[in-house]
Structure 1
Amino acid sequence: MAAVLHRNLSPAGDETPRPSVVRVRGLTRRFGARAVIDNLDLDIAPGEFVALIGASGCGKSTFLRVLADLDADIEGEVAVPARRAVAFQEPRLIPWKSVWRNVVLGLPGLPNRGRAEAALAEVGLGHRAEVWPKVLSGGEAQRASLARTLVRDPDLLLLDEPFGALDALTRLNAQTLVADLWRRHGYAVLLVTHDVEEALLLADRVLVMEARGIAHELVVDLPRPRDISRERFGVLHRQLLTWLGVNLRDTAVHDGGE
């Protein structure tokens, strides 16, 4: 069953509504007779980092596509800012355009190289502005994709499994970069991921999606930067795994534990 997860109340019980950068009420998305999302409510506050996790096929990416205005065949109310940007698992760079031209692709007016180079410098790719996308590594291509979101100066950044195709070390570096950019620019983020540890490292709040809606919400009450070795991190990690239906006893036995 869907639930109202975040009412944006002011401190000390003040019922005056705080602004939301995302406001969803009664969202339903059907494919034929089947409702993939059913009567979902959600608020995301300005500057909040929210992670959305859940099993494959539960509707995570469908929900993100609705927020990105890539899927309008819906019922209910969805309010999102005009300034929003999306990064997908695949960087989706145009191979016959240089990296800097990819970064500003789709912006109104003439291509602004200075704006592209400033964004590329922020993600550590200032020296790669002129090259073709085919010469970039997987990590560099994903950073170019992030630069493409920065030039749009978003109030909301939507990330759909952006690190899923990266190797472990590159993934860690990309996570650090996303966290740094978020702190620097102050936009709200919705991250769709299958990685529980990633969600806990990055998010203020983790939502667990099951068939048709949000089943659980976890506020991540850990100081930043996050340390996966802290006992509290382990407690939250186990809570999320339990909600996801992972049998922790079987996992421990498989890993050699008791």
Structure 2
Amino acid sequence: MATDLHRPVSTPAAVHVAGLTRSFDGRAVIDNLELDVQPGEFVALLGRSGCGKSTLLRILAGLDRDIEGTVLVPRRRGVAFQSPRLMPWKRVWRNVVLGLPGRPERALAERALTEVGLEKLAGAWPKTLSGGEAQRASLARALVREPDLLLLDEPFGALDALTRIKAQRLVGELWQRRGCAVLLVTHDVEEAVLLADRVLVMDGGVIAHEQRVDLDRPRDIADPRFAELRTGLLERLGVDTAVAAA
């Protein structure tokens, strides 16, 4: 029988995972995984499709409890997914405070919306937002919870290239301002190196590789050290960089 030890973190780490296993129909998607994320650390998680990245994030978010092992996380967590998941029948500000206890006031939502540059759209309907604006509203919904841990599941995946760059910059600024721990699940190696303190590669249900990113911020993708890190991670993911560059 699976043992769920998901409870508020009581260790110096913002996230502590030990011996975590999650199986589906007898197949272990996550297999005895170990992971620690320090307070204020920005960690990016890479891996091939189906390797268990999003499953791990859902477990850390408390959305999947059918597990074995130990998972210790902060009580205050915020989550943003690739799809903004806004309720179309609720105005933007009401979406931001959705799920908070009691009857949170509009001013609370407006403060979070101001952080992401959407203060003028608090009273708008979700269907009137662009893709980038909807994703920023989703970020505001995560931030309004004053998280000690921010979980991001490919939040920029559906955005066009220019909007994606702006959204990446916004997340970096929010992280530096807030000082919370961040775990970003992404398929984009360049994005991982651009934003993270540490990049993890998941394979076979475990963390198979760890790469620290000791580059000054803001980072320059033209920096040869940036290119070297990106190439090394692509090779870890099984990408033939010589072919990719051709």
**TM-score band (shorter)?**
over 0.9
Alignment partners' CA distance in 2, 1:83 and 1:154: 5
Equivalent residue for 2:188? Answer: 195
Task: Provide the residue aligned with 1:5 in structure 2.
Answer: none
- The equivalent residue for 2:141 is 148
- Aligned residue pairs, count: 236
- Aligned partners of 1:140, 1:19: CA distance in 2, in Å? 35
Please show how residues 148-167 of structure 1 align to structure 2 within 5 Å: 148-167=141-160
User: Is residue 19 of structure 2 the alignment partner of residue 26 of structure 1?
Assistant: yes
Counterpart code for 1:198? E
Query: Which residue number corresponds to residue 222 of structure 1?
Result: 215
How many angstroms does 1:251 deviate by?
Answer: 2.0
Q: Offset of 1:250 from its aligned partner? A: 1.9
Q: Separation in 2 of the partners of 1:63 and 1:138? A: 26
Q: Secondary structure of 2:164's match? A: helix
The one of 109, 120, 134 equivalent to 2:113 is 120
Number of the residue aligned with 2:93:
100
242-251 or 74-83, larger mean C-alpha shift: 242-251
Alignment of 1:1-258 (within 5 A): 19-252=12-245, 255=246
Separation in 2, partners of 1:56, 1:251: 19
| Coordinate RMSD, CA, aligned | 0.8
Q: Distance in 1 between matches of 2:192 and 2:241?
A: 19
Q: Give a deviation string over 1:35-66, Cα, whole Å, max 9, x none.
A: 00111111000000000001000000000001
Q: CA deviation at 1:249?
A: 2.0
- Distance in 2 (alpha carbons) for counterparts of 1:174 and 1:251: 26
**For each residue in 1:119-159, what CA deviation from the matched residue of structure 2 results, as whole angstroms up to 9, or x when unmatched?**
11110000000110000000000000011111100000000
For 1:226 and 1:113, the matched residues in 2 are separated by 36
Superposition deviation, residue 111 in structure 1: 2.7
Within 2, Cα distance between the matches of 1:97 and 1:245? 44
Q: Which runs of 5+ in 1 are unaligned?
A: 1-17
Partner of 2:6: none
* TM-score for both structures, normalised by structure 2: 0.95
Q: Distance in 2 between matches of 1:196 and 1:112?
A: 39
Deviations 1:1-47 (CA, angstroms, capped at 9, x unpaired):
xxxxxxxxxxxxxxxxx810100000000112110011111100000
Q: Return the letter of the residue paired with 2:90.
A: K
- Structure (1 or 2) with the larger CA radius of gyration: 1
The separation in 1 between residues aligned to 2:238 and 2:66, in whole angstroms, is 31
Aligned-partner residue type, residue 79 of structure 1: L
* TM-score, normalisation: structure 1: 0.90
Give the letter for the 1:239 counterpart: G
